[in-house]
Structure 1
């Protein structure tokens, strides 16, 4: 198993008994706007801001995230690192199990 003490991600997450919410479609677009940041950092920050709003609506926080699946278009090692940096800002010390996938398009 990956050394989870590295603080980058966790391979195992446990959801405590209670209500579950499944979120999807947290993309780099503001509601009602066609504008999308041109750079990956801006896109990642907009997507994490959207996720934060959704969590707040549910009266939840990053600590409640059990699993994340992140898609990065035209992924490079640098792009993955930039996206993961934005995610760390959102997650703080939360460590949901996370899969990051490079794709050609969304």
Structure 2
């Protein structure tokens, strides 16, 4: 965990640690990056993959590229918002393991949001990040 981000799961709130996220993330002063929602758009305009799992993998790859461009890593993520078309337990089961694998044990604050549609008719997931920029 980044020394500049402290995670909290107060006893008066549901303990979300086992689910892979923190209820509260406190960021020390510093530069912040607000990463636009990453979808399954692929470099070179390749076709969007079919299915939520494949789209989650592509969106997570784009999130990883954004972190790399910032010189950051998952421990520097303060907040993620995950928008999923038709979010339900089955959809969470398809996308959340990939997101947790990307986070590699880090527990940022996460909000999952069910939506009717995203910016493209074929898009099923979009992931935003708030990142503390190292250094």
| TM-score with structure 2 setting the length | 0.74
Give the aligned partner of residue 26 of structure 1.
Answer: 38
Q: Which has the higher helix share?
A: 1
- Aligned-partner Cα distance in 2 for 1:51–1:4: 22
Report runs of 4+ in structure 1 exceeding 4 Å deviation.
none
The alignment status of 1:81 with 2:93, answered yes or no, reads yes
CA deviation map 1:7-50 (0-9, x unaligned)? 42111001122111110121011133141111111000000000
- Aligned-partner Cα distance in 2 for 1:105–1:5: 29
Give the aligned partner of residue 115 of structure 2.
Answer: 103
Aligned partner of 1:67 among 79, 82, 90: 79
Aligned length: 106
- The change in CA–CA distance for 1:26 and 1:2 in structure 2 (over 3 A counts) is same
- Aligned-partner Cα distance in 2 for 1:48–1:67: 14
| TM-score with structure 1 setting the length | 0.92
Q: How much is the aligned-residue C-alpha RMSD, in angstroms?
A: 1.2
Q: Which has the larger radius of gyration?
A: 2
- Aligned-partner Cα distance in 2 for 1:88–1:97: 12
